[in-house]
Structure 1
């Protein structure tokens, strides 16, 4: 049974502007430690690719927060929600801390997809109840 659906579209230029103002502090706020390591590698090779990575993660976490019905309030936090990829490339949501505990207690399961183009990143999340 579907518990919730969330979608988000993010202007990559807005993420770029925020990053230019706040620097790595913004990336640390939004990304988990594992995501931050990926972001650093991508940014080192091609800075714009790093910005798009940051935008897709921002978008996916916003969509997830909408799908679970909490928005950005506890136990939902940027860093407790991680978007990673399976070896096939499929994006998946990995939760940590209080958010993971809450999510599992609700009997929920999430599916995510992300995409980006030059100026926009978009995400769609479906959360099911077991």
Structure 2
């Protein structure tokens, strides 16, 4: 059973332009606290920032909420498993919202795919439910 699917296509040069202009203010708007703490360990290129942005946009589209209902970029953390597979961690507020949409006896599954080519990043998120 699928709750929703979201996709976001983003031009990396657009993100670079905004980041060059606003710097840390832009980072603080789109990165979670955990992502901000870890930014010293990773190089925040425009490509990486675009992946964060696009994946979070795709997630709220799949959730069906958009950035409303008090959901912000900061409520969603993008991470990678050791094999590179992306996954997200949600704030308590977004988890509660997702669980309200989850049918009884099911658990939510979030699948993410991120790809980039030249000056573009695309992220696709599918939220589905698996019987417990």
Q: TM exceeds 0.5?
A: yes
> Size of the alignment, in residue pairs?
125
* Structure number having the greater helix percentage: 1
For structure 2, the residue ranges without an aligned partner over 5 or more in a row are: 103-107
TM-score (norm 1): 0.87
Query: Helix, strand or coil for the counterpart of 2:21?
Result: helix
CA distances 1:73-118 after superposition (whole Å, capped 9, x unpaired): 1242101111111111110111013111211232232111112233
1:104 maps to which residue? Answer: 99
- 106-115 or 50-59: which moved more? 106-115
Point out the more displaced range, 103-112 or 13-22. Answer: 103-112
Q: Residues 86-125 of structure 1 correspond to what in structure 2 (within 5 A)?
A: 86-107=81-102, 108-125=108-125
Q: How does 1:36-51 map to 2 (within 5 A)?
A: 36-43=36-43, 50-51=45-46
Unmatched runs of 5 consecutive residues or more in structure 1: 44-48
Q: Which has the larger radius of gyration?
A: 2
Distance 1:38 1:11 in 2: 24
Aligned alpha-carbon RMSD (Å): 1.6
CA distance in 2, matches of 1:117, 1:36: 25
Q: Secondary structure of 2:59's match?
A: helix
Conserved? CA contact 1:106–1:129, under 8 Å: no
What is the distance in 2 between the residues matched to 1:20 and 1:40?
18
Once residues 38 and 119 of structure 1 are traced to their aligned partners in structure 2, the CA distance between those partners, rounded to angstroms, is 25
